[in-house]
Structure 1
Amino acid sequence: MNTFYNEKTQPSNPFKGFLKALGFTGLLLSGLNSFAQDKNPGKIHIGFVYPLSTNGTHAPLDTNRFSFHLLAGVSSVEKGFTFAGFSNIVRNEATGTQFAAFSNHIGKKAEGLQIAGFANTYGEGQGAAFAGFGNISRGNVKGAQLAGFGNIARDVDGAQLAGFFNKATSVKGAQLAGFMNLSNKDVSSSQLAGFINKAENVGGSQFAGFINIAKKVKGVQGAGFINIADSSDYPIGIINLVKNGEKGISVTTDETTSTMLSFRSGGKTLYGIIGIGYNFKNKDEVYAMEAGFGAHWFQSKSFRLNTELTGMSVERFKAGEYFKSSLKVLPAFRIGKHFEIFGGPSLNFISTNTTEGRNLHTKFIHTWGNKWGNSLQGLYIGYGGGIQFIL
């Protein structure tokens, strides 16, 4: 009996074509690697996941100039383009571009561009790092960090931009975050955050939705509520606790007999105002609340001109609301070291829908709405003044 099969009788192998292609690819890649080793520094590294690649188990010791892995790749040094469907792991330096659907991990310095769907981690960086969630550098960064959630580094010479927070030791540039920026030392440019900024010295400005904290701020310190600093001449906040600034408690009244007890605080030029009070003109129990900003002009030892922009709300009418916004021009005279008297005209806009609110003032430059109906908006000239005890 003939024990051999001919081509017609031999069973077909469905993997024969694939195995031949794989073998040919391996020979081709081996040739390319041999050529790369002879002519250029670094290999071409292609694979699925370590150690299923052209570099095999030797991959953690190899230097590559091009790497492409369907899932994850491991190498010692990368000097060109690196791609992974999930993650790139480079034990030492990486130069060029590293792209991964999930993460890039570089043990030492990353020089070039890093793009990851989730995170980039590296020793130090020169270039830009983009991540859907976070960029974490254990050393210094020269360039930019951009992340959907957070950036962390030591000294940053460039910018940090994050959806939630940025943290660095010092920044020669700007920090912009949706919630918080933190710098243990100096920020040469500005900090912009949705909630809080904190730094030692700020060469530019700080803008936060709620609070700014620093020692010395050269530019504007703008917060939705409070600024804290040792030195800040231009704080814009309702409360400004500036060590080298000015704080005072004042009693004021205006043309509607709304009498306020207020706290004024700020720097040499700008200050904030917050106060509570009572309106004595109306027969109902009506309580007033006031907040705003002010600025000092033409300052001398005994005189200065204060301008203020405030908003005041009067409550406890039987029903409805009363709101007044005012632009005030208030010449102020110093009496001794701690007292100041001030007073002057104001331009006021009111909006009310109560009879009591309409009766607080009756002479207007111009009105909107129905003066005798349910609502009234009006513009008029008023006056006010008070006395302040400077702490």
Structure 2
Amino acid sequence: MRTDTLTRITVLSLLTVISLTVKVLGQSAVRPAHVGIVYPLSTNGTQAAEYTNRFSLHVIAGVSKGEMGAAISGISNIVKGSATGATLAGFSNHIGLLSHGASISGFMNMVRQTSHGVMVTGFLNQAGEMQHGYQVAGFANIARKSDGTSGQISGFMNHTDSASVAVTGFLNSHRSAKVQVGGFLNLAKDANIQVAGFMNVAKKVKGVQVAGLLNIADSSDYSIALINIVKHGEKQISLSIDETSNAILSFKSGGRVLYGIVGVGYNFRNDSATRYAFQGGIGAHLYVSSHFRINMEATNTTNTDFHKVVFNKSTFGVYPAYRFGNNIEVFAGPTFNEVHTKDGVGEDLAPYYIWSKHRRNDKFNGVYVGGVAGVQVRL
């Protein structure tokens, strides 16, 4: 009798322990897995937003308090709190805090607070703040703030407070950036390097500005574009003549070291086919003293009759220059020239050739040494 009673008590005690264990596990804030179709049709039911999961898989969309591993949904993941690991969705991810993880979607990623990880999407990434993270989007990346160690890569636009590296097909817009590479336009208050297909705009540039047409800055010593409007730089109007009788009126603009050249001119040989000249290039100042310096320039000059381009000359010149007073500078020096023309037009513009060759289709290439002299006025 005593044995039976003792056995019953033991069995009841074990059942009680098991029941309590199951109850405690069921109330735990962390679930090993969350599987479903769409909220609330899932293993966490209507309480899905109260649980953090180590793994989630939903056919349409999943809702959770947090994710500690992989969260995969056919359309969307909605994470109220923090997501660590990989969050994958066919359309969009909506996350409160992305911590040391990756958010990957077909259309859009939204992080309400801070992103410490990688955001990759087909259209738009948006975050409140980025810290040691990267955004990669087919269209645009936007973050309200950044710690300056994060990067953005997009097809059209990048925008945030501060970025380490930003690459886009059209527009970069930042308060400060170490490297901006834009297909069309870069905007920044402070930048180390700016490279744009059309134009760069900044206040202070510590490194190099490279643009297809125009650079604008308060201070930039190394500006490479046809036109450089640098507040604390140098702008000059130059009139020069070379050995081919090309008289060129050009605008030279840039920083303390590098500058751009764009000019138009006329050829006094009176050959109608080569009468008008257009010039573009870059130059560099090498300072010797307060009034004497050496200007090195690489230019391309095209002579044409406006019906077809008939004469091209690529030139590298070294021009010692002396400045009278503050604004007037005279210069002259030797040039090394490579000529390309067709049908014999303009071949006689050069005084002589140290190397030349006639090619098929009446094309001609030649190399010779020439010279340029001129005067320029600082604006």
Equivalent of 1:72, from 51, 61, 73?
61
Displacement after TM superposition at 1:33 (Å): 8.9
More strand by share: 2
Q: State the Cα distance separating 1:79 from its structure 2 match.
A: 2.5
Match of 2:312 in 1: 323
> C-alpha distance in 1, partners of 2:139/2:347?
50
Of the structure 1 ranges 133-142 and 173-182, higher mean CA displacement relative to structure 2 is found in 133-142
User: Which runs of no fewer than 5 residues in structure 1 stay unpaired?
Assistant: 1-31
8 A contact 2:297–2:317 mirrored in 1: yes
Q: Which residue of 2 aligns with 1:17?
A: none
How much has 1:304 moved relative to structure 2? 0.3
| Of 291, 295, 299, the match for 2:280 | 291
Deviations 1:247-277 (A, max 9, x none): 0001011001100110000000000000011
Which of 169, 190, 215 is the aligned partner of 1:178?
A: 169
Q: For 1:145, which of 115, 135, 138 is the aligned residue?
A: 135
| Corresponding residue of 1:56 | 45
The residue type equivalent to 2:150 in the other structure is: G
| Contact 2:67–2:82 (Cα < 8 Å) also in 1 | yes
* SS of aligned partner of 2:346: helix
Provide the rounded CA distance (Å) in 2 between the counterparts of 1:36 and 1:134.
39
Q: Indicate the residue corresponding to 1:237 in structure 2.
A: 225
Question: CA 1:256–1:33 in 2, change beyond 3 Å: closer, same or farther?
Answer: farther
- One-letter amino acid of the counterpart of residue 228, structure 1: I
Alpha-carbon distance between aligned partners in 2 of 1:105 and 1:381, rounded to the nearest angstrom: 66
Alignment equivalent of 1:45, drawn from 34, 48, 69: 34
- Are the aligned partners of 1:343 and 1:386 in contact in 2 as well (CA < 8 Å)? yes
Structure 1 match to 2:324 = 335
Q: Is 1:207 aligned to residue 195 of structure 2?
A: yes
Kindly indicate whether the alpha-carbon contact (under 8 Å) linking 1:271 and 1:295 is maintained by their aligned counterparts in 2: yes
Match of 2:263 in 1: 275
Displacement of 1:303: 0.3
| Counterparts in 2 of 1:88 and 1:34: CA distance versus 1, 3 Å | farther
Q: Does 1:366 align with 2:355?
A: yes
Query: May I ask how many residue pairs the two structures share in their alignment?
Result: 355
Q: Distance in 2 between matches of 1:74 and 1:275?
A: 63
Deviations 1:322-348 (A, max 9, x none): 111100010000011110000100000
Give the residue type in structure 2 aligned to 1:175. A
Match of 1:125 in 2: 115
The SS at the match of 1:377 is strand
Q: Give 1:217 deviation, angstroms.
A: 0.7
Q: Is the 1:270–1:296 contact (alpha carbons within 8 Å) kept by the matching residues of 2? A: yes
Judging changes above 3 Å, is the alpha-carbon distance between structure 1 residues 33 and 71 closer, same or farther for their aligned structure 2 residues?
Answer: farther
Q: Using the aligned pairs only, state the percent identity.
A: 44
**TM-fit CA distance, 1:299:** 3.5
Q: Secondary structure at the match of 1:359?
A: helix
Question: What TM-score results when the alignment is normalised by the length of structure 2?
Answer: 0.88
| Counterpart amino acid of residue 263 in structure 2 | G
Structure-to-structure mapping, 1:220-259, within 5 angstroms? 220-259=208-247
CA RMSD in angstroms comes to 2.2
CA distance in 2, matches of 1:363, 1:235: 35
Contact 2:215–2:227 (Cα < 8 Å) also in 1: yes
- Equivalent in the alignment of 1:6: none
Contact 2:244–2:351 (CA under 8 A) maintained in structure 1: no
The Cα shift of 1:225 comes to 1.0
Contact 1:33–1:43, Cα closer than 8 Å, also in 2: no
CA contact (8 A) 1:349 1:378 kept: yes
Matched residue, 1:312 = 301
In the superposition, the TM-score normalised over structure 1's length comes to: 0.86
1:163 to 155, 159, 163: 155
CA distance in 1: counterparts of 2:128 and 2:60, whole angstroms? 26
Counterpart CA distance in 2 for 1:104 and 1:87 is: 6
Q: Quick one: distance in 2 between partners of 1:322 and 1:387?
A: 25
The CA distance in 2 between the partners of 1:33 and 1:278, in whole Å, is: 94
Query: 2:353, 2:45 → 1: CA distance?
Result: 87
Contact 1:319/1:354, CA 8 A, preserved across alignment:
no
Q: Which runs of 5+ in 2 are unaligned?
A: 1-20
Partner residue of 2:14?
Answer: none
User: Where does residue 14 of structure 1 map in the other structure?
Assistant: none
SS at structure 1 position matched to 2:232: coil
Partner Cα separation in structure 1 for residue 168 and residue 73 of structure 2: 29
User: Kindly tell me: are residues 34 and 353 of structure 1, through their superposed partners in 2, closer, same or farther at Cα, counting changes over 3 Å?
Assistant: farther
